[in-house]
Amino acid sequence: MKDFVRQYLKVKNDYGDSVLFMRLGDFYELLFDDALTASRELDLTLTNRDYGEAERAPMCGVPHHAADKYIAKLIEKGYKVAVAEDAK
């Protein structure tokens, strides 16, 4: 499992009831169920990535400079949102 996914899952464990936006470079990425939720609620393109697991992980992302508007939309729809900065 890649380091990013380990970090994502660690933070997600602490904020499990929130949709997690995790920064990776110039983007905030969302994985697994959070990616499914965000793609549905925000009309984002759902893709997937190979993180070394048996199945590819659902993922989507938004540019860091536009994240506030996406986060606000999720909050307006009743979701809790967690933001993690500078995943390395």
Per-position DSSP letters for 26-68, written without gaps between them: TEEEEEHHHHHHHHHHHTPPPEEE--SSSSPEEEEEEEGGGHH
Q: Which single residue is written with the structure tokens 């900065």?
A: 85
pLDDT score at 88: 54
pTM: 0.89
49-66: per-residue pLDDT in tens?
A: 887 666 788 999 999 999
Specify the CATH number of the domain 3-84.
Answer: 3.40.1170.10
User: Taking the chain (88 residues) in consecutive chunks of 10 residues, what is each chunk's mean pLDDT?
Assistant: 83 95 94 96 93 79 97 98 82
Q: Is 84 in a helix, a strand, or coil?
A: strand
CA-to-CA separations, 49 to 39, 54, 68, in angstroms, rounded: 15, 11, 24
